[in-house]
Amino acid sequence: MTKPIIALDFPSPQDALHFLDGFPKSQSLYLKIGMELYYRGGPDIVQQISARNHEIFLDLKCHDIPNTVEKTMVQIATLGATMTNIHAAGGLAMMQAARSGLDQGAAAANRPRPLLLAVTQLTSTSEEQMHAEQLIPVSLNASILNYARLAQQAGCDGVVCSPLEASMIHDALGAEFLCVTPGIR
């Protein structure tokens, strides 16, 4: 996928919708709704933007026990998002539960299942920080590749990574495994 994703980093739903009003109604955009806008606008903002025929990356980076993530993903699958994400650090069982929840929610709502991405390491995390704070002794790239492999094993469609890591991930896991690169390391 090479379509750019526009971040709707606005403090309110009204600001985001006003921004979108500046585009022709016939133009379909790929938009990212992050935590700030989602926590202010809730599920309604996702549904309102989806109703305008835009594709949505719901960037909430869920990370909790598998049961909670599964139930959350059931709800997310009903909102009209095209893609959503979780933290790979939650582990294989949590990622599998996320996929199961999306499958269940999409089937119940008679909607396509949103693509599921796993965040390997935040693009703001340096190798030094990963060693000192997360106590992960391997290289940053080894950690990212390990999380990407687990994500693929769990049934995720791809990962969120920096452009510096995309070719490494594609070389190891195949070109069909998505690499979404919203940030620069």
In this prediction, residue 162 carries a pLDDT of 87
Contact 79, 54 (CB under 8 A): no
- HSE at residue 3, side-chain half, CA atoms within 13 A, is 13
- The total number of residues shown for the chain amounts to 185
Q: What is the dihedral of CA 133, 137, 140, 146, to 10 degrees?
A: -110
Residue 123 DSSP SS3 = coil
In this prediction, residue 79 carries a pLDDT of 96
CA distances from 172 to 21, 115, 154, 175 (A): 42, 20, 16, 9
In this prediction, residue 43 carries a pLDDT of 97
In this prediction, residue 11 carries a pLDDT of 92
Which is catalytic among the residues 3, 25, 32, 61? 61
Which residue positions in the chain have pLDDT lower than 70?
1, 183-185
Could you tell me which of 77, 73, 105 has the C-alpha nearest to residue 86? Answer: 73
Report which DSSP code applies to 53.
T
162-172 pLDDT, tens digit per residue, is 888 999 999 99
In this prediction, residue 88 carries a pLDDT of 98
Q: What is the pTM of this model?
A: 0.94
57-98 pLDDT, tens digit per residue, is 999 999 999 999 999 999 999 999 999 999 999 999 999 999
In this prediction, residue 184 carries a pLDDT of 46
* 61 flagged as catalytic: yes
